[in-house]
Amino acid sequence: MGLGLAQKFGSYKYIISSANGTSLSVNGEGSVIFTENISLDSVLVVPTLNYNLLSVAQITLALQCIIIFWPNLCVFKDIRTRKTIGYGTKRGKLYYLDLTPATCRRLAQAFSMNKSAANSEIWLWHKRLGHPSFGYLNKLMPKLFVQLPDTNFKCDVCELAKSHWVPFQISMNKSPTPFMVVHSDVWGPTNTCSFNGKRWFISFIDDHTCMTWICLMKCKSEVSSLFKQFHNMVATQYSSVIQVLRSDNGGEFVNQEFKQYLIYHGIVHQTTCPYTPQQNGITEHKNRHLLEVVRASLFKAHMSTKYWGEAITTATYLINRLPSSN
């Protein structure tokens, strides 16, 4: 900022102190107009200073703006409109406000490059975490979205992998404690076996938290033994008791051996009516979510569908750790 822009300075006598304790005389006070967006009042004229200094505290108060500092630049933004009203670049250890048109273009380019770097990091985490919504990413890493609203991001892979029917209405009934109600469903067979020969998977979903456990299977007859393992794990690791199991009417769930096990442990078995998957909508939504993440991950990585088993266990791990409305 140059004093050649100073206007309406009058006679003034005042003393200020510098950083090393030296007293400096103030010869005047007035207004400085930098651009149509930046003008300052109460600017002091101190001829003995070698540099023109701008107080961050005073400019934020005078212009009602915020200043965002990055390693190589800073940006002035109006608080009400959020519009950028000025730029600054770092030279040495100071930030310089240079208002020549050519410099402003360079600053704008530097600012765009900084946004581009943040943009790249957002996309990297979007892919790493299994293509979650950008709204969830914003909650996880809000610093990445300071200048980039999450609504600005659209992922073509997500649109390809997550297209589906209009969703069923979500039930408003929620169990009050973990493992009071557990939803289960079997998905498969897949057209492509995994590397260890699995073609099915069974999901166990806690109604209270929506935490999910996935087990891969070679055949549907493994359901009974896998539920027994899950039941023992809940009792041992969480000191909790499963009270209700909710599933469809598939033969893997409705058979004499499985029925006797549930009766012995006092577990109520709730089954859905035929051809009404919406009655067990929790598992339908969860399976859809898991498969969307699997497709998005495999599409983006250009990997064979033989990796679906590894992809779905990874998807379960990620979804259990990402934020959700539950």
* Other C-beta atoms lying within 10 Å of the C-beta of residue 156: 9
Segments of the chain assigned E as strands:
6-17, 23-33, 39-45, 65-69, 73-78, 84-91, 94-96, 181-187, 200-206, 212-217, 244-247, 268-271
pLDDT at 206: 95
Residue 80's SS3 state is coil
How far is residue 296's CA from residue 281's CA, in Å, rounded to a whole number?
22
- Which amino acid belongs to residue 303? M
Nearest one of 184, 157, 185, 200 to 298, comparing CA atoms = 157
pLDDT tens by residue, the chain, 326 residues: 333 333 344 445 567 777 777 888 887 777 777 666 677 777 788 878 777 788 888 788 878 888 888 888 888 888 887 777 787 888 888 888 766 544 445 445 544 545 556 678 888 888 888 888 888 888 888 888 877 777 778 887 787 777 655 555 555 577 889 999 999 999 989 989 998 899 999 999 999 999 999 999 999 999 999 999 999 999 999 999 999 999 988 889 999 999 999 999 999 999 988 777 667 778 888 988 999 999 999 988 888 999 999 999 999 999 999 887 76
Residue-level pLDDT at 85: 79
pLDDT for position 80? 80
Please, what is the angle between helix 223-237 and helix 256-264, to 10°? 20
Quick check: pTM over 0.75? no
